[in-house]
Structure 1
Amino acid sequence: MDLDLSGKKFFVTGVASGIGHATAELLIRAGAEVVGADRAELSKPLPLAAFHHLDLSDPALIDRAVAAAGDGYDALINVAGVSSLASTDMQFRVNFLGTRHLTLAMVPRLKAKSAVFNVASSTAVRWEQHLDRFTPLVETKSFKEGLQWLEANPQESPISYAWSKEALIIWTMKTGLEWIGTGRRINALSPGLTYTPMHAEFVQAHGEALLKKDAERTGDAGSAEDVAKALVLLQHDYAAWWNAANINVDGGFSASVLMAKENFGDV
């Protein structure tokens, strides 16, 4: 089905490369106006309506980007994030606290009927088991308060990346419930292993053998466009009943982990 998103306006983060770039490209191809943001410059040309520098690790820089972004958006698509090669502090700063701060700052710039999509990760497949662990973090009221919680509750671990995405999923679902009746909706989308520029960072952080095993669970890793197509489909009016959900787009990776007899790490 060819989607027609003419007349719709989107703010997409992480557009420099990977899933963010592919998502922006498909939205534009569908006739939408796309404003993009990233910490890096575009790796390939993209006919954006505007581009803003965005550093999710710093709330002041987030506020600066939001102030320049304008308004009238139909959706905010949060793709930007850092890999497990980053420090644990940076993973939580960017993947949860920064994404949350940006989303709340953008709410007044969204239309009355609008949507937010947060790209999480299928590595966060056991987020339900950690509701009690991360609910206190999710319920902090600001970027600063969130950092204070993290300082008091260190999350050092080889899988802290997954934990940062678990916090994002939990916050997304909690916020989706709070938004019921407002005309806005919010969902998380969790990709499995995906061939993007960030893939090399995961190989460096965890080793090629582990990522090869993960890819074998679904036959192979997905492409940036595989995930982007799902994100773009969710912009259609037919998807309007999706709210407060975590949507796995991983070729069956999450199911393979949850049903496997072997332990998938401390997640």
Structure 2
Amino acid sequence: MDNILGYKNQNVVITGAASGMGAAATALLIEAGANVYALDIGDVTAPVTKALKVNIMDKASIDAALTELPDTIYSLFNCAGVPHPPTPVYETIMINFVGLRYLTEQLLPRICEGGAIISIASTAGMAWRVNLERVQEFLALDGFEAASDWLKAGNELGQQADAYGFSKQCIIVYTMQMAGELAKHHKRINCIAPSPTDSAFMDSLATAGIGKDVTALFCPSNGDFATGADMGNAVVILNSKLAGFISGCNIPVDYGYVAEVTMGQRNNMLEISL
């Protein structure tokens, strides 16, 4: 059972490694023997192979980091993310999706056969079906600058999506759109949709007046908030060799919340669809 996850001596890249879900995944990857290249605007304290200061909403910052990353990569973990509110609309979408997509597509040629990409979406993004036309319009914009210009122009995000929800809808749709093409090259892509998670992210929401009394409405029936480790474990498993035939999936990691909504056992306040 040695190296059951397949990470031993493999190069992996992870964003958002300084805290929360990213930090939890980073710790597990180190334990699994991976060479971890950690990207974050904050300080990464884990004993990674290399820590790089990166502002994921700044193309030049990403480009500088790319020069420091290895030529061959086994897995990419897109864990960086911010809440809205309090983060402004433009920054939220640039960090949560535009920078994520740019980094992913720059690294795709370096990801080896059998390699994988995982991103963190949200149950808040699972209304993607009702906003699909707007999401696809945004995804069709060619490149980092075009997406930035579109957002700066003040375009409406659609009635069903706030900035945070829209950014996570983009992750989910992008993941599904990319799966077929990546399969031709024996590479995988997935995302997870966490339920409310007790983290610094949640603390940021609280400063904007969205406390646990509100977010608890979207917790599973056990009443628990997830931990960063719950989500870190999930992304590490999904990018591992154990999940080698799973691709193109948005996987709720929510102790059954989405299942309850789908079966009509909970009010579908988020307009969730699978």
User: Does TM-score exceed 0.5, indicating one fold?
Assistant: yes
Given that residues 128 and 169 in structure 2 are in contact (C-alpha distance below 8 angstroms), is that contact kept between their aligned partners in structure 1?
Answer: yes
SS in 2 for 1:198: helix
Question: Aligned-pair distance for 1:129?
Answer: 2.0
> What CA deviation, in whole Å up to 9, does each residue of 1:212-237 have, x standing for no partner?
32236442111111111111112332
Return the match for 1:165 from 168, 184, 190: 168
Match of 2:61 in 1: 61
Give me the whole-angstrom Cα distance separating, in 1, the residues matched to 2:42 and 2:255: 29
Distance 1:55 1:156 in 2: 27
Task: Give the match for residue 113 of structure 1.
Answer: 114
- Judged with a 3 Å threshold, the aligned counterparts in structure 2 of structure 1 residues 185 and 124 are, in CA distance, closer, same or farther, namely same
Deviation at 1:153, TM superposition (A): 2.2
TM-score where L is the length of structure 1: 0.91
- SS of the equivalent of 2:67 reads helix
Q: Deviations over 1:147-188 (max 9, x none)?
A: 233325233888321111001111111011222211211111
Which consecutive residues of structure 1, in runs of 5 or more, have no partner in the other structure? none
CA distance in 1 between partners of 2:128 and 2:265 (Å)? 17
Paired residue type of 2:106: A
Does the aligned pair in 1 maintain the 2:121–2:168 contact within 8 Å? yes
Aligned to 2:149: 148
Aligned counterparts of 2:12 and 2:222: Cα–Cα separation in 1: 31
In structure 2, what is the Cα distance between the partners aligned to 1:261 and 1:217?
9
Partner residue, 1:226: 230
Flag the 1:217–1:124 CA change in 2: closer, same or farther, 3 A.
Answer: farther
Per the alignment, do residues 252 and 216 of structure 1 end up closer, same or farther by CA in structure 2, a change over 3 Å counting? closer
> For the Cα contact (< 8 Å) 1:203–1:211, is it kept in 2?
no
Q: Report the equivalent of 2:211.
A: 207
User: Following the alignment from structure 1 to structure 2, what is the Cα–Cα distance between the partners of residues 118 and 261?
Assistant: 26
SS where residue 68 of structure 1 aligns? coil
Change (3 A) 1:153 1:217: farther
- In the TM superposition, 1:237-256 aligns within 5 A as 237-256=241-260
2:267 & 2:251 partners in 1: Cα distance? 24
Q: Distance in 1 between matches of 2:112 and 2:268?
A: 44
2:71 corresponds to 1:71: yes
C-alpha deviation, 1:35, in angstroms: 1.0
Contact 2:14/2:76 (8 A) holds in 1: yes
Q: 1:169 to 1:218 in 2, by over 3 A?
A: farther
Question: Residues of 2 paired with 1:65 and 1:207: CA distance?
Answer: 35
**Equivalent residue for 2:48?**
48
Any idea what SS the aligned residue of 1:222 has?
coil
Aligned equivalents of 1:229 and 1:47: distance in 2?
Answer: 18
Ranges of 4+ aligned residues in structure 1 off by more than 4 Å: none
In structure 2, runs of 5+ residues without a counterpart are: none
Distance 2:94 2:63 in 1: 15
Deviation of 1:261 after TM superposition, in Å, equals: 5.8
Counterpart-to-counterpart distance in 2, 1:113 and 1:234: 12
Decide which moves more: 83-92 or 105-114. 105-114
The answer (yes or no) to whether the contact 1:193–1:222 under 8 Å persists in 2 is yes
Aligned length: 265
Question: CA-atom RMSD, angstroms?
Answer: 2.1
Native 8 Å contact 2:77 2:119 kept in 1: yes
Alignment partners' CA distance in 2, 1:146 and 1:233? 31
Q: Return the match for 2:192 from 177, 189, 201.
A: 189
Q: Partners of 2:227 and 2:171 in 1: how far apart?
A: 22
Deviation at 1:114, TM superposition (A): 1.3
Equivalent pair of 1:159/1:266 in contact (CA under 8 Å): no
